[in-house]
Amino acid sequence: MKQLSKIIFFSTLLFAMFSACKKDENKVYFNGGTAPVLSSTINGASLPLSFANRNNVALNLSWTNPNYQFTTGISSQDVNYLIEIDTAGANFTNPKKQTVAVSKDLSRSFTQGEFNGYLLNQLQLDTSVVHNIELRVTSYLTNSSVPLASNVLKYTVVPYPIPPVVTPPSSGQLFLVGSATAGGWNNPVPVPTQQFTKINATYFQITVNLIGGQEYLFIPVNGDWSHKYAVPDKTVANLNQGGDFGYDKSDNFPGPVASGTYLIQVDFQRGKFTVTKQ
C-alpha cells in the first residue's frame, strides 16, 4: 500500500510538472505591419541637378514607421530600411539599380553631386537625354525578415557630365590588338573586325572572337604603339571578366579562359570594362 502511494504521488508530480511546462510555452506570432509612406521635399516631377550646385541638397526623403506588430506587442527589434533608385518601368528589378541602406532612421538626404553619381556610375544613364526614375523605401527587421515596400516617387532627371575616370581617346576611335585576337600583335590591326563601335563620347563596345588564355590591349590609333589602354596588374582575380583599366598602364588585359565570341564594353566615364560571353 505504501509503495502504491509513492507511485501515485510521483505520477501526480510529473503530470503537474508537464502541465506547468506546457503553460509556460509562449509562441510569438507576427500580426502584421504598415508599409512605410515615403515623401520628399521635391514635389514636382523634375529633380534639378547641376555641377555648380553639386554640394547643395538635391532632395530630402522621409518615411513613416512600419510599426511591426507581434502577439507580444510592437516589435522591439531594430528596423532597417533600403532606399531603391531605379529607371521607370523596371519595377526595381534592374541589376544596375542603386540601393542605399539606412539603419533605424526615418529620413535620408542626398546632395546633387551624390545623387548624380548614382545616376552616372551605378545606373549608367546618358547625360544627353531626360530620364524617368523611381524611388521607394523598403523596411525590414534586422534579420532581413518581413519586408514592406513603400509607395513610389517618380521624377525626371538629366544627369550632368563629370570628368571621366579615364580620358577617352582623342581620336574618337578605339582598336583591339593582342594574341587573343585573330590579328595577333600585328599593328595596324584588321578593320572593321577589330575596331570598337563608338556608342557615345565615353562608351565603346565590340563583339569579337577571342582566343582563350591569351591577352590584348586597346589602342586609340591603329598602327601606333605610342599609347595604349591597359591594366596595372593582370593577376587581379576575375579580371578576364572585367574591372578597372587605365591609360598607358603596364600590363595587358588577360583574355578569357575559353575561346569564343565575346562582347567587350569599355566605359571611360567609370574607368571600367566588361567582357561577356555571347
pLDDT digits (tens, 9 = 90+) for 168-200: 999 999 999 999 999 999 999 999 999 999 998
Per-residue pLDDT at 27: 66
Per-residue pLDDT at 77: 66
Per-residue pLDDT at 7: 47
Per-residue pLDDT at 10: 45
Which residue type does 29 have? Y
Task: Give backbone dihedrals phi and psi of 189, rounded to 5 degrees, phi first.
Answer: -95, 160
Which residue type does 27 have? K
- Residues 86 and 135: their CA atoms lie apart, in Å, by 7
Residues of the chain where predicted confidence (pLDDT) is lower than 70? 1-32, 70-77, 144
Task: Give backbone dihedrals phi and psi of 132, rounded to 5 degrees, phi first.
Answer: -100, 125
In the DSSP assignment, the letter for residue 4 is H
DSSP class per residue in 142-210: TTS-S-EE---EEEEE-PPP---SSPPPTTS--EEESTTSTTTT-SSPPTTTTB-EEEETTEEEEEEEE
- Give Cα separations from 210 to 82, 83, 263, 266 (angstroms): 41, 40, 10, 16
Per-residue pLDDT at 18: 46
- Residues 95 and 168: their CA atoms lie apart, in Å, by 26
Domains of the chain: 30-157 (2.60.40.10), 175-277 (2.60.40.3620)
Per-residue pLDDT at 29: 64
